[in-house]
Structure 1
């Protein structure tokens, strides 16, 4: 893994760790650095900007501790090259060893302690790059955004990935670079991350150009607790808004928004009617399905089912 950034990318060599930390805060990710009580560690850092990615090779030369509440708008992929690193997170801790990869989500707290001989390669990936890949491929993910559901891997488990990173590092150090080529490479890296690592992304396209209304209906039913955006539904259905409205008019006799509301109300009615389903209150159930105006919700429910939701709930008991 010596090919993950050479000395041509050297920014600091045997430098003050706080100077290196300040540079990292500017380019790689905001953090707090705590130095050991004794000794004078010397830090080194190699860095390249590559399209919207940041490539970084770093060692602090001492048992430093790096913390931050969250990375907010970026993902960190960290590969341990030498030494060891203690990671603390989610009520667990793990000693990373050379060849292990750690993936840190934007809302994950960071708490890492480096050994004296620890050296890492860090890939910084902006959130909007992964979300753009999902939109382009018509892959779906929850409203809170793309997240990696497992954060530790051995490089040997990720076929070809370290070779891809090595190629990207070499391209970043080339004498002549073309922005268009850099962008192609970053697209490949981001797509590899989404396919090789475990995420909350569903790579099954909701519908293709000739897919049926039934598949759109199944998607809606699977996301009823979410605020389903009609334009997003059209994009994932690979059709224009006009075509989507025409499809709903043909098969459901109504608009997409009215159809979604009808299904949400039907799901609430089923919950209120079934004694086996725990319901603490009508208000809580309505809010769960995105009905913020309770008066309008009650009236829509009455029009669809001929009674108020409170009457349905009272009748089942």
Structure 2
């Protein structure tokens, strides 16, 4: 997350800024869910609640701090998961029967909606929090498991020094950077970032259905990959998920992922990105009607222009701007 300003993340997305614990409880309760909020000191000295948020389809990215030490008891979250990444201070997080001691760069916490939660945030504790709607996470788990899923419950502690923790941290950093630097044209890209985060959490962290997801997936024929690529090309400019691709070629999502990995030596997401880059290239070399590189990248579904330009250069040996200049 070094590329973005973590001293004041989401500064343009302020929702709550108050020195009143009661006002904070009411206003933040409207954003998340009703909860008990109690400063540890009766005088509430140093209390300063700040909540900023950017809402996307299926998730929201939030910055929350309370200034002073507080106890928070939301009970069961019911309708959403919360991935809480501490930026400053520390927190003791109880979820179900487990406890996580969250510290910056060391441990985050992941709260499941069906488990009772209570927390104690230290003086100066501030967190970057991703809210993922329960329906989104359960739909992703159902697609991956290829069976009906009633509920998903994660282990509370997320080790940020592990590979899974670092991947999650990098992904949230990309989400934050894209929101800070993005524009309205990239709304579907931001929604896909939320979807891919839930998929990453399901495939890399411990949870109640991890054994099912770790079981070997059937592998389809190489023609399935070809049909998937044809469908992606035909729908490249509309909003779709990896689950939509699997549905279109009539296999489970895990089967499609494993088939792509076996036959193409790449991941499904990387294959989609490559096809988007190819479409981007065709837009750059075709009639642009005065559109900019940024406009064409958005049309191809490549929301993060810097990363798209780097990937484009690796694939085509020049920058998108160079291609556009040559074609005009």
Give the alignment's TM-score, normalised by structure 1: 0.59
Give 1:50's match in structure 2, choosing from 45, 56, 59.
Answer: 56
Partner of 2:22: 18
- Of 139, 148, 151, the residue aligned with 1:145 is 151
Cα separation, partners in 2 of 1:86 and 1:98, compared to 1, 3 Å:
same
Q: Please identify, of 168-177 and 182-191, the stretch whose mean Cα deviation from structure 2 is larger.
A: 168-177
Q: Which residue of 2 aligns with 1:103?
A: 110
Do residues 38 (structure 1) and 43 (structure 2) align?
yes
CA distance in 2, matches of 1:207, 1:32: 47
Q: Does the residue aligned with 1:54 lie in a helix, a strand or coil?
A: strand
Residue 135 (structure 1) shift: 3.6
Unaligned runs of 5+ in 1: 211-234, 240-317
Q: Hey, what does 2:265 align to over in structure 1? A: none
Residue 114 (structure 1) aligned to one of 102, 108, 121? 121
CA radius of gyration, larger in: 1
Alpha-carbon distance, 1:187 to partner: 1.7
Matched pairs, number: 213
Aligned to 2:201: 193
1:254 match: none
1-structure distance, mates of 2:112, 2:171 = 21
Cα displacement (A) at 1:124: 0.8
TM-score using structure 2 length: 0.57
Match of 1:243 in 2: none
In 2, the alpha carbon distance for the partners of 1:94 and 1:185 equals: 26
2:166 is the counterpart of 1:159: yes
Mark the CA change 1:206 to 1:160 in structure 2 (over 3 Å): closer, same or farther. Answer: closer
Q: In 1, distance between residues paired with 2:96 and 2:111?
A: 12
Change (3 A) 1:93 1:194: closer
SS of the residue 1:178 aligns to:
helix
The answer as to 2:143 corresponding to 1:136 is yes
Quote the Cα distance in structure 1 between the aligned partners of 2:158 and 2:112.
14
* CA offsets 1:199-250 (integer angstroms, 9 cap, x no match): 214224765668xxxxxxxxxxxxxxxxxxxxxxxx9xx57xxxxxxxxxxx
SS of match in other structure, 1:62: coil
**Shift in Å, 1:147:** 2.1
Query: What's the CA shift for 1:18?
Result: 3.0
Match of 1:182 in 2: 190
Give the secondary-structure state (helix, strand or coil) at the position aligned to 1:132.
helix
- Counterpart of 2:206 in 1: which secondary structure? coil
Cα separation, 2, equivalents of 1:135 and 1:86: 31
